[in-house]
Structure 1
Amino acid sequence: PALITMFTINFIKFLKEFTVVFLMTDGGPPLVSGFTKRSIIGATTTLDIFIYDIFTGRSSTGIASAYSVLTLLLVAFVMILWFLSSRVELNAHLLIILVVAAQTTLGGYTGLVFGGLYLLAVWKRGLFKYILIGDILVSLLLSLFNGFLRGFNAATIISLMVFLILRREREGAAVVKSGDRALKLLTGIVLAGVLIASVLPLLVLVWISLSGLSTTYIDSFLPRYFTLDNFVRVVGEEGIISTLLNTLFVSLVTGLAVPLLTFQLALALRKIKNSLSDIAIVILNTVGVIGGMHTLVPLYSIFRTMGMIDSYFPVVLVYISHAIPFSVFTIRTYLESVPESLEDQAKIDGVGPVAFGFRILLPLSRPVLTTSFIVAFLGAWNGFLAPLLFLLSDSKYTMGVKLYTYVGSLGSGNPQWNLFGAAATINLLVMGVIFYTFRGYLGKTPLSENYE
């Protein structure tokens, strides 16, 4: 169950990933099967990149909205699958019905055929694996002859996941044991790799910010044309301070709103021990999906109708919806660690449930509320897609969009790497100061004596 939960969280996270792919690959080289009458699809064009290209390239949002709905359906199937697989007793019939629904809605013509075949597995479960093999083979053949984009059946992923879940139920999970020495060596190698991958970009960023040339080519330990003019320009000419204040405003509103909105919900979920709690978790994770391009396109249409484009309201709303699931889970877990004897003592002293929650649990929850604030704050501070879509005026840009204006995506023709490096260095310093200020509240327990 833990592995399935982690898979679901990361699947949704990377399904709506936009920034890295957009900036680092610019869609990638075009695929042979990616040429259509209206668009060109590259090797790294993800769903969100594709929807963004359609959205920005056409005056009508109908086609982009249709793709958004299909993407949301795929996410919904994965969320339902996660919910069903997290039950103590798996219901194989419901899982197979989910596969049938996924095939008929996402699989096109072949999905209609395989949806009917999978339906037979409801009565004879042993047929499922043979139908799955046929499903995979047909997807491979169609991808081979028609190209991956036209031949691949997204519902096949759902079918494969259900098969693995049903197999786990029947055979049980295998436990792999490794030697302590080999495990420690592997852990050390991974940690060293992570450390190098974290420090090296920072060194390169500082080098670029101190260089008089707009380049990312590093041929010496110190910049050959050492200068501080880049910092002077971004502060004086580029108005980076104003951009920092814009970002600070959006981040503060998001960071303060999230704990206020989620504490009472976490307090209520703390008392729920039945399936309602699981349903609430699924709903919250579904809310957390908001933020990818597949949901921002419909939101853009709504806010444009309301006249709220080029304002911070939709940006903050997206960031809050992003941070709510993590905040609720973290606060609820924190509150569950509070000893029940503390509540019993409060009842003896005549303290009711509401008073206990706000007079006792709320002060004790200061560390986890601070953690929730920091996570929401940093998420908003580092945000890129929402302000890129909703903010039109240069004077309202947040740091993510401002940094993008210096270098653009991979295909941009005139990147200003030195100004980008200076602005990014200032941005990291500000974030470091903020994180250092609140570091004392992280990792504290409810009854810790030294978190002041």
Structure 2
Amino acid sequence: MVDMLVRTGAVVAPEQPARRRRRGFERATRGLVRWRIVQYVVLTLGAVVMVLPFAYMVGTALSPERWVMPYPPTIWPDNATLDNFVRAINEAGLARYALNSLIVAVVAVVLTLIVSSLSAFAFARLEFPLKEVIFGFYLVTMMIPDLIALLPKFQVLRDLGLTNSWWGLWAVYVSNAVAFNTFLLRGFFSRIPRELEDATRIDGGGTWTFFLRVLLPLSKPALATVAVFAFLGAWDDFWWARLLIQDPDLRTLPIGIQLFFNSHATQWTTVFAATTLAALPEIAIFVALQRYFVNGAFSAGVRG
């Protein structure tokens, strides 16, 4: 009798649990697919917005002189040429400026890593009076815009005889970055288990042994992040290099590119070619250290 009622539709059989779970899974899957499509669309649009200026820069650098600033704007020229890159390297002396910037940036990275890692190690692993207060002053300096301290720093560098030299640039780059890098590395160093330090001391090692042979090798992502920031800061700097350096032989790449501009005429193809060449080392550094950079940027500031 019950089977007859069910077959005729008078009584609706309850839905089986397995079927309900399958339908719920299908709805969740469809929702996830829609959300992924929205994410990919947004990321694609963002990538296009970010890449478009760089593509325009490269296209202009490859354009003949007569094709500069066409209307309507074009991304890629019809008659691409490398003459602008050759002119920027040979005639404008870009190779010398690039070598100067490379020396300044590499030394700035080394000094920044040394000073920041030692400072972060002291705040993360050592105990001394007023540690938190001093670290608070470090954080306060991060809130002060660099332009406000421009004149006092310049006066100090002038009194120390560090103007018109790379030593002045290195002092500025390291001092400007030490607070943020100390904050970044301190969070990463604090996550290293204390058991590793105790094991090092049991094996006969001291503080320096733990710092050099245990802590630093385990902190490669954070150190790579600091290195990338330090390199970009020194490689892209214009204002301090323009303010401190007067000797033409000591000029860095941003100053050399600025010399392409004059009051009579500006060779925009040469400017864009030089700018493209200046961006290549930054791209190479980021691509080479991308894995360490991403890991360090997201995990260094989180204490476990």
Match of 1:207 among 59, 72, 89: 59
Correspondences of 1:9-408 after superposition (within 5 Å): 191-213=43-65, 215-217=68-70, 219=72, 220-271=74-125, 276-288=130-142, 292-407=146-261
Q: Distance in 1 between matches of 2:133 and 2:44?
A: 40
Q: CA RMSD in A?
A: 3.3
CA-CA distance at 1:192 after TM superposition: 4.0
Residue type matched to 1:436 in 2? V
Tell whether the 8 Å contact from 1:263 to 1:331 is kept in structure 2 after alignment: yes
Residue 272 (structure 2) aligned to one of 411, 416, 421: 421
**Shift in Å at residue 341 of structure 1?**
2.5
Once the two structures are superposed, residues 10-57 of structure 1 have per-residue CA deviations (whole angstroms, 9 ceiling, x without a partner) of: xxxxxxxxxxxxxxxxxxxxxxxxxxxxxxxxxxxxxxxxxxxxxxxx
Distance 1:386 1:372 in 2: 20
Structure 2: which amino acid aligns with 1:365?
Answer: S
Inter-CA distance 181–286: structure 2 relative to 1 (3 Å threshold):
farther
Alpha-carbon distance in 2 for matches of 1:285, 1:244: 34
**TM norm structure 2:** 0.73
How far 1:443 sits from its partner (Å)?
4.5
Q: Which one scores higher on RCO, CA 8 angstroms, separation ≥ 6? A: 2
**Deviation of the 1:235 alpha carbon:** 1.0
CA contact (8 A) 1:289 1:322 kept: no
Deviation of the 1:326 alpha carbon? 2.6
Query: Shift in Å at residue 188 of structure 1?
Result: 5.7
- Name structure 1 gaps, 5 residues minimum: 1-178, 446-452
Q: Which moved more, 1:195-204 or 1:428-437?
A: 428-437
Unaligned runs of 5+ in 2: 1-30, 297-304
Using structure 1 for the length normalisation, give the TM-score.
Answer: 0.51
**CA–CA distance in structure 1, aligned partners of residues 248 and 95 of structure 2:** 13
| Distance 1:243-1:359 versus aligned 2 partners, 3 A rule | same
How far 1:426 sits from its partner (Å)? 1.1
The Cα shift of 1:270 comes to 1.2
For residues 50-84 of structure 1, give each alpha carbon's deviation from its aligned partner in whole angstroms, at most 9, with x where no partner exists.
xxxxxxxxxxxxxxxxxxxxxxxxxxxxxxxxxxx
Partner residue, 2:283:
432
1:286-328 Cα shifts (integer Å, max 9, x gaps):
4446772322223333433444332222222111122212321
Deviation, 1:246, is 0.6
- Give the Cα separation in 2 of the matches to 1:221 and 1:259: 40
CA gap 1:352/1:313 in 2 versus in 1, 3 angstroms? closer
Larger Rg: 2
Change (3 A) 1:227 1:362: closer
Change (3 A) 1:260 1:221: closer
